[in-house]
């Protein structure tokens, strides 16, 4: 059984858009890209593109925290 997120969707699932018969491809593509953006799929892929050591991850997190508190 897959884990579910707070929104009720399966964790790690792909974005899915159901296209109705009278919907244009462009409209469906626009909905799909919006869904991918909301789910953060591309941001997650960029983040995981290269391995990041835990120490580097901590330093980035601390820097982001300092930058946010300004």
Residue pLDDT, tens place only, 6-51: 445 555 678 889 999 999 999 999 999 999 999 999 999 998 999 9
The model carries a pTM of: 0.58
> If DSSP states are collapsed to H, E and C, what string results for the chain?
CCCECCCCCECCCCCCCCCCCCCCHHHHHHHHHHHHHHHCHHHHHHHCCCCCCHHHHHHHHHHHHHHHHC
């Amino acid at each position: 059984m897959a884990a579910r997120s707070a929104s009720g969707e399966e964790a790690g699932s792909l974005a899915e858009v159901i296209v109705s018969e009278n919907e244009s491809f462009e409209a469906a593509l626009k909905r799909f890209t919006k869904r991918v953006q909301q789910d953060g799929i591309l941001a997650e892929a960029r983040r995981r593109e290269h391995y990041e050591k835990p120490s580097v991850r901590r330093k980035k997190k601390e820097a982001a925290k300092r930058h946010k508190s300004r």
